[in-house]
Amino acid sequence: MKIYIACDHRGLELKTKLMSYLKENGLEVLEIGIPNSEVDDYPEFAFKLGELVRQDENNLGILICGSGIGMSIAANKVKGIRCVRALSVDDAFKGKNHNGCNVMALGSEVTTDLELVKEMVDTFINTKKASEERHLKRIKVIEEYEEY
């Protein structure tokens, strides 16, 4: 499994800390190759990360901006991507286990407790994909709608 990570200028500090944390825990963490600047635009990062994540169903992505909202909106425009904006461990769990999310968006200015962010990321990575029929049915409806 590859964990792709990207941020706009507002998420750079948190991205750096998360990358170190994930690598220390033996995960393959990859930046998406777009440099940050003071005037970068979050959609560019979200679209690129989404494209990389969808290349392999085992890949996951983490996006970081100030609120997590813009990144999640943009990522959800990429076919095959379901992105949860996580503010809690429960959001991270349900996003993946109930909604089949393969990308998580974080807000560096919203969730400032690094230990909580680590717990959310760990939960997202380690939670099993949706397997209950009711969740799979709903995910299928979303996937079918994407085909329009």
Enumerate the domain spans of the chain.
Answer: 2-146
CATH superfamily assigned to domain 2-146: Sugar-phosphate isomerase, RpiB/LacA/LacB (3.40.1400.10)
Report residue 47's pLDDT band, with 50, 70 and 90 as the boundaries: very high
Catalytic residue among 7, 9, 98, 101: 98
Checking if the pLDDT of 132 tops 90, the result is no
Catalytic residue among 65, 83, 101, 135: 65
Q: How far apart are CA 80 and CA 100, in angstroms?
A: 10
Task: Give tens-digit pLDDT for 3-43.
Answer: 999 999 999 999 999 999 999 999 999 999 898 888 899 99
Torsional class of 29: left (φ above 0), alpha (ψ -120 to 50), beta (otherwise)? beta
Task: Give tens-digit pLDDT for 114-128.
Answer: 999 999 999 999 999
Predicted pLDDT of residue 125 = 98
Predicted pLDDT of residue 131 = 86
7 is catalytic: no
Give the 3-state secondary structure of 79-125.
CCCCEEECCCHHHHHHHHHCCCCCEEEEECCCCCCHHHHHHHHHHHH
9 is catalytic: no
Predicted TM-score of the model (pTM): 0.95
